[in-house]
Amino acid sequence: MPAGNARVVVVLPDGQELRASLYERRRVPDGWQYRVAITIWGTGSSGRQEPVERAVWLDASHVRPLEGGDYSAVPTRPAAPVGRAAARQAWTVQNLPHRSGHPGARLVHVNGCQPGATPIDLDQALDALQQPRTVPCRECNAASSFTPAD
């Protein structure tokens, strides 16, 4: 288990409970959100089934601590300043379909590069880029948009 990672229970919409890894937490205007990852079966680059980890941000109502868990090493993001609370959606994500012999993929773009792609904010873009088969678009040089300007 990576440092700063703890185990939690995630409650699914149908009431099922799964154990997950807690990677970080952040304060939001109406409480807390937790970035958790669940290991599920997915299709690998070879086309075979293999375990893959999927990470998402969830509201506190969907995450429960395991008894005796130590969360002191879990990174905690402070609340966003009031002027930044509604983060600008400066990126988009495009899902590319699965084709014979090629698994599906996702591209993260700078807003405006790909008409019809789904708008996302900075946290969503960074989370997406941590997922398998997700890359920044080369056409709009999306990777450079995540580096602070000097």
Contact 44, 50 (CB under 8 A): yes
The residues, any chain, with a CB within 8 Å of residue 14's CB and separated by 6 or more, are none
Phi and psi at 38, nearest 5°, equal -115, 135
Which one-letter amino acid corresponds to residue 81? P
Instruction: Characterize the bridge pairing of strands 118-120 and 134-136.
Output: unpaired
- State the pTM of this model: 0.54
pLDDT tens sequence across 37-78:
998 888 777 778 888 888 888 889 999 988 877 777 888 876
Lowest mean pLDDT among 12-21, 95-104, 131-140: 95-104
| 117: DSSP letter | P
Contact 95, 114 (CB under 8 A): no
Residue that has been written with the tokens 């700063």 in this structure: 4
Domains of the chain and any CATH numbers? 6-77 (2.30.30), 87-146 (no CATH)
pLDDT tens sequence across 98-133:
777 777 788 998 887 887 778 888 888 888 888 888
